[in-house]
Copies of this chain bind each other. A is one copy, B any other.
Amino acid sequence: MASDKQSRPKARTVRGFRDRAAGELAAERAMLDTIRRTYESYGFDALETPFVEYTDALGKFLPDVDRPNAGVFSFRDEDEQWVSLRYDLTAPLARYVAENQQFLPRPFRRYQIGTVFRNDKPGPGRYREFIQCDADTVGTASPSADAEMVMMFADTLEALGLARGDYAIKVNSRKLLDGVLEAAGLPVTGSDEIRERRGTVLRAMDKLDRVGPHGVRDLLGKGRKDESGDFTRGAELDIGQAERIVSFIAPSGAANNLESHFATIARAVEGSATGEEGLKEVRAIMNLVTASGYEHNRVQLDTGIVRGLDYYTGAVFEAQLTFPVQNEKGQTVVFGSVGGGGRYDDLVARFTGQKTPAVGFSIGVSRLLTALLMRKTTTVETAPLVVVTVFDKNDAAPAFDIVRELRAAKIRAEAYVGTGKMGDQFKYADKRGAALAIIEGPDERAKGEVTIKDLALGAELAKSVESRAAWVGNREAQFSALRTNLVAEVRRALAREH
């Protein structure tokens, strides 16, 4: 243990956490800069809330127990109060708005890009620390705010280089879902039992993509046995109720015609006040979106979208990438969701007691980055690097002069600061992935020259030459240049390579 001075700690990351290197970070930064610019162009302002919040402010105490939810990282502060690492960026936003509402414009629109933490079991590609990118509008119930979110989401994906047709922003409403349940004769609020059944029904609806309409029908009824033989208990609805719900979330026939889709929905929710309100809102959102030129190839009404989070109270959105990828089983599937959101009208009320309408969406940064790298709209590329070797380690000044000149010309350059000989220095330059190495030994200096070695070309030639002897004789990959022409010659060599 740590108290034993003889034993050394093992160098390892905490499980579920990872180190990230320059290439990924550069691609991510480029992506986030584009997202940020898009949000700012819409007039959303940046906000940063802290990484640590009081657990009660996050609403993350277990019900009826004075203990934090196991899914969040929590600890006691010096004063014994429970604090937690933020779990998302929405709960801190609600805290911020409740705390500062008298100073904020109304509606208040902000974006936040930040790391959040989940104390869940890690798995392949599932980390306990990841970045979210949220935009939210607080303090207005207007469908314009929802429509703006949807359009901004679409614009963001296009700003990132995704082509029209590669994505779709799906729109639905929690009120429509509740409406169809109500219209089917199922109460949606009331006892714990009723709310629990609503949860089971929503989860079943959410599985449409994976299990298809038949599977959902089973999950709404008695239950479903999956391929592995595991049985999931169903919501115990009768056949008529299940049928009504399935034909709502997976309507037969094309839904490209908005008006006919509205009419189908109207029939499904008929008699439910909640459902009719939901339809009115969704209609307003879709009409504004369409009038603004966002057609069905960008924004789609899709009654099959559920979005898991409990706190949504109205419209819900999901951004789906529609281009094909191979899954782990080698099957071709669509890439799928890269983010979503919706209306949540109760989060600020937790603090203030006053209902405060709000709407937002969140992008899963690492999933979106994966998609962009697949689509090659973002590449992991850093500026080419020049390594300047040091011939005499007691006289590094000439090498530092060279790198200073190169940097002044906007060329990324470093002088070797290790203690190795020339061979080590070339190995170092290779390992660094440098484009060029520059040598200025006594011979070169006497002639007022430098030797420029094209490392990528050298590696290329080394593959093709037949013998070591031929390789040593091969001078193509390096050339002499006048020291006074340094910058021009380096530029020329870099241009040849790229």
Q: What's the nearest-Cβ distance from chain B to residue A347, in Å?
A: 11
Contact of A9 among B3, B45, B350, B414 (CB under 8 A): B350
A26 at the interface (CB under 8 A from B): yes
Q: Which of A22, A25, A99 has the most CB of B within 10 A?
A: A22
Please tell me if the beta carbons of B20 and A105 are within 8 angstroms of each other in the complex. Answer: no
Instruction: Judge if A12 is at the interface, Cβ distance under 8 Å.
Output: yes
**A407 near B51: Cβ-Cβ < 8 Å:** no
Q: Are B288 and A419 within 8 A (Cβ)?
A: no
**Is A383 part of the binding interface, using a Cβ–Cβ cutoff of 8 Å?**
yes
Q: How far is the CB of A259 from chain B (nearest CB, A)?
A: 17
Which B residues lie within 8 Å of A51 (CB)?
17, 51, 85, 115, 117, 129
- Given A19-B50, A144-B396, A393-B144: A11 in contact with B105 (beta carbons within 8 A): no
B291 touches A42 (CB 8 A): no
| Chain B residues within an 8 Å CB radius of A387 | 43
Instruction: Report yes or no: B14 in contact with A53, Cβ–Cβ below 8 A.
Output: yes
Whether A53 and B107, one on each chain, are in contact in the complex, defined by CB atoms closer than 8 angstroms, is no
Q: What distance in Å separates the Cβ of A164 from its nearest Cβ neighbour in chain B? A: 16
Is A56 engaged at the interface, CB distance under 8 Å to the other chain? yes
A432 to chain B, nearest CB (A): 5
A383–B40 CB distance below 8 A = yes
**Which interface residue of A52, A352, A420 has the most chain B CB atoms within 10 A?**
A52
Q: In the complex, which residue of chain B has the Cβ closest to the Cβ of A95?
A: B11
Contact between chains at A50 and B407 (CB < 8 Å): no
Cβ A42 vs Cβ B407 within 8 A: yes
User: Looking at the complex, which one of B98, B99, B129, B288 makes contact with A50 (CB distance below 8 Å)?
Assistant: B129
Copies in the complex: 2
What's the interface size class on A, roughly? Answer: 35 or more
**Per a CB cutoff under 8 Å, which of B2, B141, B291 touches A56?**
B2
Cα distance, A48 to B52, chains bound together (Å): 20
B contact residues around A17 at 8 Å (CB): 50-53
Within 8 A of B (CB), among A45-94: 45-57, 59, 61, 63-66, 73-75, 77-79, 81, 83, 85
A410–B417 Cα distance when bound, in Å, is 45
CB within 8 Å of B: which A101-129 residues: 104-107, 109, 115, 117, 119, 128-129
**Chain B residue nearest to A106 in the complex (CB):** B418
Q: Does B144 lie within 8 Å of A390, measured CB to CB?
A: yes
Residues in B whose Cβ lies below 8 Å from that of A61: 1-3
Residue contact A53 to B13, C-beta cutoff 8 Å: yes
Interface string of A123-144 (1 = CB under 8 A from B): 0000011000000010111101
A13: B residues at CB distance < 8 A: 49-50, 53, 95, 99
> Would you call A419 and B10 a contact (CB within 8 A)?
no
A56 vs B397: C-alpha distance when bound (angstroms): 41
For A394, the closest partner residue in chain B by CB is: B284
Fill in one digit per residue for A16-38: 1 if any B CB lies within 8 Å of its CB, else 0.
Answer: 01111110011000000000000
Asked if B404 contacts A292 (CB within 8 A), the reply is yes
A25 surroundings in chain B (CB, below 8 A):
46-48
Assess whether B144 is in contact with A417, with CB atoms less than 8 Å apart. Answer: yes
Taking the complex as formed, is A385 at the interface, i.e. its CB lies under 8 A from any CB of chain B?
A: yes
Q: List chain B residues, Cβ under 8 A from A81.
A: 14
List of B residues within 8 angstroms of A98 by Cβ = 11
Inter-chain contacts of A64 with B (CB < 8 A): 3
Can you report 20 residue pairs joining A to B where beta carbons are below 8 Å apart? A1-B61, A1-B66, A3-B63, A8-B352, A9-B59, A11-B98, A12-B99, A17-B51, A21-B45, A42-B403, A42-B407, A105-B431, A107-B418, A107-B428, A139-B418, A142-B393, A142-B417, A142-B419, A148-B415, A151-B400
